[in-house]
Amino acid sequence: MTMVQAINSALRVMMARDDRIVVLGEDVGYFGGVFRVTAGLQAEFGKQRCFDTPISECGIIGAAIGMAAYGLRPVPEIQFADYIYPGLDQIISEAARIRYRSAGDFICPMTVRVPFGGGIFGGQTHSQSPESLFTHISGIKTVVPSTPRDAKGLLIAAIEDNDPVIFMEPKRCYNGPFNGKYDQPARSWADHPDADVDEEYFRIPLGKAKIVREGDECTILTYGTMVHVAGQVLEDRGINGELIDLRTLLPLDIEAIEASVRKTGRCLIIHEATRTSGFGAELSALVQERCFYHLEAPIERVTGFDTPYPHSLEWAYFPGPIRIGEALDRLMQD
């Protein structure tokens, strides 16, 4: 399966198992979503369980919160992460707090699907990576799959969770893994082991990172599209690095991070989002607090730059093989 097909399969499996699950958003019904992720769901489950909304992200999130408090399990789609900001107040002030402010009398089992990230020439308004905004909010969980199998298993776990979840889908990987070599033909998921996805129900628990590649020379912490880019750089440079796909940013698998950095003594953090106050800053602080006496070199970060996402200079902004390779060189020299 592609990642698009895997997410569609997760929604289909869960809607068949639980009639409380509803899908809503702009064009998710008859059209099947801007990326075709919800294709066929309205025809199979009807217009009351998969339906289009007005172009109002605030309205989509607000309606989903109300449904969740009422007892449903809504899965709203925001077409691009860049458009989620009108719904932020609803997420911060309502969704994240319902369970706490009601002392557990009400919960908000809402999973917001959000395509994010660059690499598709989307420019400033279709390429952003706002994950750190959500990890800063207590009361919600933030999930980022990097493969079709993880996308299905993690989405099922998110839908079953009683807390609100922001499910961030790396759209550059929807139809194939991306190794950062933009001047080469696009790859498909066909020969990737994690594209072999079970058609039936399965779940991958939130809060568990995955060691994509074992190694002892350095640790790379990343998520989403950058998992594939980092793996390619390690392979090209012949570095025996340990590559960790965080998979969920909150809850975070701190034990896996700590164990790896203590073993390798070197840590590189990679993400697409802007550098200042990005999630890499949190990871860097955690590694410094827990692994300081095991570090053999300063922690390195490769990120987007502190500018709006540029259209014409996308590949300079994108944390690609050149910048990651240079960071690895510095990391291994010290």
- The catalytic site residues sit at 126
The amino acid at 134? F
Is the CA virtual torsion 310, 314, 316, 318 positive or negative? positive
**242 contacts 262 by C-beta, under 8 angstroms:** no
| Distinct helix (H) and strand (E) counts, the chain | 12, 12
Q: Which string of DSSP letters, residue by residue, matches 27-46?
A: T-SSS--TTSTTTTHHHHH-
Q: Which string of DSSP letters, residue by residue, matches 204-264?
A: --TT--EEEE--SSEEEEE-THHHHHHHHHHHHHT--EEEEE--EEES--HHHHHHHHHHH
For residues 144 and 154, give the distance between their C-alpha atoms in angstroms, rounded to a whole number: 9
The amino acid at 275? R
Closest CA to 22 of 81, 91, 68, 90: 68
